[in-house]
Amino acid sequence: MVYKLNDFIAQKIVNFIHKKSGFEVIVCDNNGTIIADSAQARIGQQHKGSMKILTTNCDSVAITPLEADASGGRIKEGLNVAIEADGVKIGTFGIAGKLEIIHPVAKIAAGMVIMMLSDEELKDNIRSQLQALSTSVDPDASDQLSNREIVIELLKSTTDSINFTNENHAEIYQMIESMNNLVFKDTLTGIYNRHYIYRKLPIDIISASLSEQSLSIIISDIDFFKKVNDTYGHLVGDYTLKSFADTLSGCIKREGDWISRYGGEEFLICLPGAGVEKAIEIAEHMRRTAENNVILYGKNIIKITASFGVCSTKPATNESVVNLIARADNKLYKAKNKGRNRVES
């Protein structure tokens, strides 16, 4: 089936990406003509980068920082990518910004255009990928996932903003949710996994920076967890981890907050828009709740405590994920060294 871009869908995706990211974006049709523009300034113009993509074998054209500087402001650093359906280039999507940031956004947006053009095509695609994931994905082998699979969480978050043309979109939501669970959920605790952290946290950091807000993370670790396993066995240990994850989840109420299992008995909580004071308040609530909780497993009564490390980004700064986690981890070990069962920031 050959799809043809239309102005309505093109402008819809442009408006959505521009609103969510703040980046300038355009969509060109299969003739290289700009049919949607977030700045509403170049509609109807021919786009050279788009023409190159549509008339050659290349799938993308990047404008490097050096090229942008050399143009004297005439062009901006950015990326144009092909919008393809069934191997046919039906247009291009362009976005201006730092290449290391916008590359995945451009790829996702190009896929979303096709999703908006045909939900039936999307359902067939998701069915095949879901079947493949169900039979082959090792939850611990997250680095082996394809680019298509690792954007499922983003697709899930954006489908609410897309109006499909028939009444079957509920099936799409269900399939995306199933794939999302396979790729991003920790099988033991039911919360997000480490793979999710490295896909979602960069997006939240960028979003916080663009909106000039802070972002805080908390890293928590169960104190002396090895003693639980040694005393009661690993089944009780697993149950304790699940109970602790439920405790942490029950302590976050704000929209946009999320929690993931970072590894072993260590958990990461992300609080977009929260400053360090608010994050400390939430961490302290988690600490008290965990300390007061009684975990019952058969005849066993288990009591645990946990330590917490808190750190925040500054508004309008774009800190790396690795650095942010390292800072929080250092605070966690400071809490451990000071006697455990405490919050450090």
Exactly one of 24, 153, 265, 344 is catalytic; name it.
265
For residues 105 and 21, is the Cβ–Cβ distance under 8 A? Answer: yes
Facing residues of 308 across strands?
220, 343
DSSP, collapsed to helix, strand or coil, labels residue 244 as helix
For residues 13 and 27, is the Cβ–Cβ distance under 8 A? Answer: yes
Cα dihedral: 179, 185, 189, 191 (round 10):
-110
Cα 293 to Cα 150, 233, 248: the distances in Å are: 36, 20, 11
24 flagged as catalytic: no
Q: What's the CA gap between 12 and 187, in Å, rounded?
A: 36
Neighbours of 322 (CB within 10 A): 9
Edge-to-edge strands of the sheet including 306-312? 258-263, 266-272, 215-222, 306-312, 343-344
Q: Tokens 């069962």 appear where?
A: 341
**Residues designated as active site:** 265
